[in-house]
Amino acid sequence: MAKKILMGVMSFSLSGICLFAQPGETLKQDTRFKIQGGYITFKSGTTVTYHKNHSIESGYMSNGLVYNYQKRKILFLANPQKIYFHPNGAIRMGSIGVRTYVPTKVGLLPARANTGISFHDNGQVDLIISDGDLKINGAIFKANTQIYFHKKNGAFHYGTLESDQRIKGITFKGGTYLYFHDNGKIAEGTVAVDTTVKKGLLKLAKKTLKAGKTYKFDRNGNVK
């Protein structure tokens, strides 16, 4: 994936650029950290923490950060919002300042302003807060709720159903999580009404799915 990985490098110098410091240090002045592709400035009087490998774990920015993600710009808010990094230096989590369309495997999805957004350590988006109802994989998911994505390939993972919805012959309960495998097939969901489905390799056996119960499905979409 084409994206910038931000790496924290630490050692203190008179220039105010921090290249090394102890975990949990409270900064006495606005301090710049060298990162891959540029610098990030953390605010005076706030605490910067580090991972065991001395890469940046978290800090309070004195200014916002524009992050390039798959050719889209994501604006992270500055103090009092905190920004977090994975041990490998990739951005883990921060707060976005404006409504932002985030590239995903299921298209550009709107993330709500002034909410958190997170990424897996391989750079794939992990979580957004939806700004409006979202139609994904044939289902509609509630506005202003958490939308999760798989780490492996960035495919949609799960979200909260907006209402009772019939998908592939099964009605799933609104207000509950509906999970998908990374191949787009349903992985788990809570049934809204009693439903009899065929199962097995030849589809000769039958099973009744009971309303209110949660069931798991294999990677081919068959109930377990």
Boundaries of every domain in the chain: 1-95
pLDDT, tens digit, 9 for 90 and up, residues 145-156: 999 999 999 999
| CA–CA distances in Å: residue 201 to residues 108, 204, 206, 223 | 37, 8, 12, 11
Residue position matching structure tokens 């550009």: 108
Band (pLDDT 50/70/90 cuts) for residue 37 is low
CA 14 to chain centre: 38
Sort residue 60 into left (φ over 0), alpha (ψ -120 to 50) or beta: beta
Q: Is the pLDDT of residue 9 over 70?
A: no
d(CA 120, CA 92): 6
pTM of the model: 0.82
d(CA 16, CA 69): 29
Give, in degrees to the nearest 5, the angle at Cα 132 between 128 and 136: 70
Strands 82-85 and 56-60: antiparallel
Q: Is the pLDDT of residue 217 over 60?
A: yes
The pLDDT of residue 18 is: 46
